[in-house]
Every structure is written in C-alpha cells, then in structure tokens.
Amino acid sequence: MTDTMNRIAIRPLSRILPARLRGEDPIRIEKENLKIRHDQMRDVERVRSNIRLLLIIVMFACIYIAIGARLAMLASSQPAEPITQSSNSSVFTQRGDIVDRKGRILATNLETYALYVETRHLVDPLNTANKLAILFDDLNADDLYSQFTGTRKFLWIKKKLSPEQMQAVHDIGDPGLRFGPRETRLYPNGALASHILGGASFGKEGVDSAEIVGVAGVEKTFDSQLQDPTYSKNPLKLTIDLSIQAAVEHVLEGGMRLLNAKGAAAILMEVDTGRIISLASLPDFDPNHRPKLPSRGSAAESPLFNKAIQGVYELGSTFKIFTVAQALELGLVDPKTKINTKGPIRIGGHKINDYRSNGPELPVWEVITESSNLGTARIAKMIGPEKQREFLSSLGFSKPTTIEMIEANGGKPLLPKRWNELETMTISYGHGLSATPLHLATGYATLANGGRLVNPTLLQEVKPVLGPRVISKEVAENSLAMLRGVVTGGTASLADVDGYFVGGKTGTADKPSSQGGYDKEKNITNFASIFPINEPKYVLVVTLDEAQDTSGPEPKRTAGWTAVPVSAEIIARVAPLLGLRPKFDNHSTIGITLSNWQE
C-alpha cells in the first residue's frame, strides 16, 4: 500500500494523463493527490513537532520546578537585610576606647541618635517647629518654620540626642522628624583628664552613621589608630592613673581656690620611665561638651589651654639647681665652695639682687636652700653662656617636649635672642628663658633618676627608653641632697610631708606685664619636687598662676606659701595611692644628708 502511495506522490501526472484520456475530471484526482501528499507531509512533520512539543513541556516543567525550588530555598532562609534602618543596632563600635594604666575607661562610645528632618514628610511644620523650639532652647521656632517650608528637603536639627530628648521628639509625632543612629564619644569621667583626652566630634556625617574624629589631645594624636578597626579591640592604654588624676585635680582645684589663683597645672611623672601618671591643667572643661575656642582674648585664658604642656613660663628659682648641677658637673665648685652673695650685681643696666639678703657669702648648697639669685648668677658666670646653653639644651629646654599630644608643639621654649653674660646670669635663676612645666618636670626627673634624660610619655604599652646621661650620678645625688635641704631647712619647708622625704625647689617668677617689664603683683609660682628623695621615684611639678595667700596680714605670693603647700597636699594624697610606704626613720636617708656639709 505504501508503495502505491509513494508512486502516486512522486508521479502525480501518471494518473491524471490516462484519466484525461478517459474523459474524467482530472481536478478531482489532482486534489486527491494533493491531499495524500499533504497527509504524508504532515505525518512526517507531526512526529517532529511532537518531539518539539514534548521538549517544550519538559522545559516548562523544569522551569517551574526550578522556580519552586528557588522560592522554597528563599522561604527557608532568614531575611538577611533589615527592612528599616531602626531595627537593631547595625552600627558597631568603631572608635577604640581609651583607658588608664589600670584599664579603667577614660573614653568610650555611646550609641545615640541624631535628629534630622525630611521636610517633604512633615505633616504639620508649624506645630513641629514650635514644639522643637520648646524642647531645645537653642532652636528658634520661626527659623525652623521657615526652613521647614523652604526649599530644603533635608536638615540636621541635633547631632546628639539623649534618650529623654529622643522620646520627647517621638512624642511630637511628626513623621518628618527622623532619627539617624550613630555613635558618639563619651567621657564617663567628665572633666577628669580633659586636657589629656582632648575631645572628639563628628567628621563625615551620614544619616545612618557618623565618623568620630579626634579634635584635641590624645584623641587627635592617635586619631588614625583609634579609627582603625584592627586596633578597636585593644584600647589605647595611657599612663594616666585615674584615681591619682582625680586626687591631683581635686587638691589642685582646692588650692587654686584658696590661693585665689587664675589657673594651675600639675604634672606627676615617673622619674625612671618618663611616664606621666597625672597631668592636670585648671580651669578645665568637659570633653563631652567641648567649649568652642574663644574668638576674643588670649587663647591662654581659655579652659581649653593646657598650661602644663602649652604654657611657657619663666620658671624662676627652680632653675637654680640646674645651674648648680652643671657647675658641680664641670668641677667648678663643690657643695661646700663659698660663693660671693654680696649684692647687688649691676650688669648692662640691670640689677640683680636677692629676695632677702644672705650676707657676704654662702656655700653652694646654701645658695640653693636659701635660693640666692646672686650666688647662682655668680656660679653661672663661671659656667659661661655657651656651656649653659648646651647643658640646658641637653636637658630638653631648647625644643618642645615630645609627649604624645598634639598640643605639645605649642609648648616651644622661649629662648633669649642674645645669650650673653647677662642672659646667662638671669637664666641661671629662671628668668629670661620660658619653658613649660613639663620641661621642668623632665629636667627634675633627669636629676632624680641619677642623670639620664627621660622622654615624657603617655603610652603605657611603649617600653620607655632612657635617654643619654646628662649628669653624673654623683652630681645628681648631691643635687638631690640640696633639694632635700630646701625642704628641711629652706624655702619649701611646708613641703615636708611626713614619711615621704620630699625634696624640691621653689620658683617664683613675676609675670611679664602687658606694659613691658614685670608685674610685681602677679607671678607664676612653681614647686618642682622629687619624692622620696632617698630612692627617687616621682617628680611632681605644681604651677600656680597669680596665686596669693591672703590669710595673713600681708598677701604672700612666693612659691613657698602657694605652690609648696599645694604640692605637699598632693603628695600626701597621692603617695599612698602610688603604693609608697611612708618611712619614719630618718637614718634611712642614707647618702642624702646635708650634715656632712654643715659646719
């Protein structure tokens, strides 16, 4: 049968021609032929298209299964992205903490919210502006309203909100008020150690977070380290001891008030390492609400000014020990050498005199204990300008201190333009050269540790490196003995704290007057002390600005009546905190005794 059909299909005319001859209608046959050919063709095509249809069915089935599987997978997974920004804290602690030497928190981060407005979402701008102005004193309702209804789409209202403030803003209930989560820097101890920490503020700000950048103090010095996430687990450990810092600031503030001083500074330093245990400058500020820099007046009057590091002052008689130490070092004198103390010395139109006449001559050690300007000036004259400059320079008095604070560069010592005999003589007792209290503390630490230069540091983790030897051990010991003498029998007798063998030197310098020359009524009083003097561990420098003791009939402005009692109180308070055991046996002060020099 198939054979027949094929033959018909291939040769369609084979049936038509004979049919035509027979007189039949060939069209019918032609149609029949065509239909058979169609059917054949379709049979072939149907097989192919059936395969293709099946393919499509399989494909669709696979696609639907794939989609189903994908949806099932999604359904079984947890939603990863939070829909709204407010859901749980996605802001993680970025900036590293700052801690004291015992790991107590000095600066950390607190999650808070900033308030901003998206004006297009505001429902009731007038009411919102009024209520915000009531909530926040520094906002003005009219200004807010004009901003809300102006062209701005977005504006910041507050950078930090307390939880109470945030609730109050929530209660206004306007959907245009938005909260941006962020971290803010928190100083839980308030003003304590404020000058060291400095402060931080917001850098780049976004709606969801804000960068915190240090603006002063160690926050600024170590800004990049604190911002580095790899460091954020290890807090920045400072050499500061929080409780000692608190005691120092407390006593210093009390002393400043009692003595009517404008300002005060104190530095407590380890003599062997240069580590700063406490560094205070008053008046201070709260770094949580860091005040703005004063636009008028002297920057030094601002509470932001760090007197201990930035303030350069003539440090007065505290310098005398350096002069004497150098003279001993050079072998020009020994402690018992008699020095001419007849005054006055007239040189280049200046007159040098003692505060109180000391007779015609004094041994070197008594030049220190009696604080004789004349004696010191004459010793300095023996040393000469060149050597004096070299020596003071080797003690660090020629350049800013290297403490890790951004402000340290501001404390550049003021050296005389010409350094001749006159300058040598005045500098020998601390006039004509200005330096910071920290310079002074560093110089005294060098004497205290037996003559090695120290680098003041705030970093607990860094292993301290002692600098080169500046003074021989013997000279250092003799110097300490003289400093002890100042306390036991000299100008600093109020500093003799029982059991701690304080040694030190007072310094009183008249403040330069604004009209030129010196103001006799106003002075900077210093007391640089070392304790315990028999095995020196700590240096304490206390500086008071315009202090005067008005308890007596006459105001007393010298360091012996101002800086010294404050220092004594500080030592009495902090020595136990430092773990120093008081000793009440005078014989233990081996080597440090003046008896062998006394006639």
Partner 1 sequence: MTEMVHGTTSGSDGEAILSRWWRTTDLWTMTCIFLLFSIGLLLGFAASPPLAEKNGFAPFHYVERQIVFGALSLSTMIIMSMMSVDLVRRLAIIGFIFSFIGLLFLPIFGTDFGKGATRWYALGFASLQPSEFLKPCFIVLIAWMISASKEINGPPGNLISFVITVVVSTFLVLQPDFGQACLILFGWSVVYFIAGAHILLLVGVAGGAIGLGSFAYISSEHFARRIDGFLSPDLDPKTQLGYATNAIQEGGFFGVGVGEGQVKWSLPDAHTDFIIAVAAEEYGFVLVGLILITYSTIVCVSLARLLRERDVFVRLAGTGLVCMFGIQAVINIGVAARLLPAKGMTLPFVSYGGSSLIAGGIAMGILLSLTRNRPQKNVADIFIKG
> Applying CB under 8 A, does 49 fall inside the site for partner 1?
yes
Alpha carbons 130 and 541: distance in angstroms, whole number:
53
- Closest approach, Cβ 114 to partner 1, in A, equals 20
78, 151, 515, 586: which one binds partner 1 (CB under 8 A): 78
Burial track 397-413 (b if 16+ CB lie within 10 A, e otherwise): bbebbebbbbbbebbbb
- Closest approach, Cβ 36 to partner 1, in A, equals 10
- Closest approach, Cβ 118 to partner 1, in A, equals 14
Alpha carbons within 13 angstroms on the beta-carbon side of residue 559 total 33
Q: Do 281 and 302 touch, CB atoms closer than 8 A?
A: no
Alpha carbons 524 and 254: distance in angstroms, whole number:
17
> Applying CB under 8 A, does 42 fall inside the site for partner 1?
yes
Alpha carbons 535 and 445: distance in angstroms, whole number:
12
Indicate the residue among 59 and 126 with the shorter CB distance to partner 1. 59
Alpha carbons 13 and 482: distance in angstroms, whole number:
144
Span from 72-80, 152-160, 243-251, 257-265 in contact with partner 1 (CB under 8 A): 72-80
Count of beta carbons in the 10 Å neighbourhood of residue 3: 7
13, 17, 67, 293: which one binds partner 1 (CB under 8 A): 67
- Closest approach, Cβ 78 to partner 1, in A, equals 6
> Applying CB under 8 A, does 123 fall inside the site for partner 1?
no
> Applying CB under 8 A, does 56 fall inside the site for partner 1?
yes
Number of residues that bind partner 1 (CB under 8 A): 37
- Closest approach, Cβ 37 to partner 1, in A, equals 6
By three-state DSSP, how is residue 562 classified? coil
- Tokens found for residue 96: 């590293």
Let me know if 551 is exposed, middle or buried by CB neighbors in 10 A (0-12, 13-18, 19+): exposed
Indicate the residue among 78 and 586 with the shorter CB distance to partner 1. 78
Per-residue x/- track, 495-514, partner 1 (CB under 8 A): --------------------
Per-residue x/- track, 81-100, partner 1 (CB under 8 A): xxx-----------------
Q: Who's near 131: CB < 8 A, 6+ residues apart?
A: 172
> Applying CB under 8 A, does 71 fall inside the site for partner 1?
yes
Indicate the residue among 90 and 588 with the shorter CB distance to partner 1. 90
Alpha carbons 130 and 184: distance in angstroms, whole number:
27
Span from 75-83, 184-192, 270-278, 511-519 in contact with partner 1 (CB under 8 A): 75-83
> Applying CB under 8 A, does 57 fall inside the site for partner 1?
yes
Span from 70-78, 209-217, 404-412, 518-526 in contact with partner 1 (CB under 8 A): 70-78
Q: Do 182 and 114 touch, CB atoms closer than 8 A?
A: yes
Span from 71-79, 128-136, 399-407, 438-446 in contact with partner 1 (CB under 8 A): 71-79
Indicate the residue among 76 and 586 with the shorter CB distance to partner 1. 76
17, 72, 134, 299: which one binds partner 1 (CB under 8 A): 72
13, 64, 346, 360: which one binds partner 1 (CB under 8 A): 64
Alpha carbons 458 and 196: distance in angstroms, whole number:
9
- Closest approach, Cβ 32 to partner 1, in A, equals 11
Alpha carbons 478 and 484: distance in angstroms, whole number:
10
| Rounded-to-10 torsion of CA 526, 527, 528, 533 | 170
> Applying CB under 8 A, does 120 fall inside the site for partner 1?
no
Inter-CA distances, 59 with 35, 53, 56, 71, 481, Å: 34, 10, 5, 18, 101
- Tokens found for residue 83: 């829909």
Three-state secondary structure of 227-288: HCCCCCCCCEEECCCHHHHHHHHHHHHHHHHHCCCCEEEEEEEECCCCEEEEEEEECCCCHH
48, 120, 292, 417: which one binds partner 1 (CB under 8 A): 48
Indicate the residue among 85 and 234 with the shorter CB distance to partner 1. 85
Chain residues in the site for partner 1 (CB under 8 A): 1, 34, 37-39, 41-42, 45-46, 48-50, 52-54, 56-57, 60-61, 63-64, 66-68, 70-72, 74-83
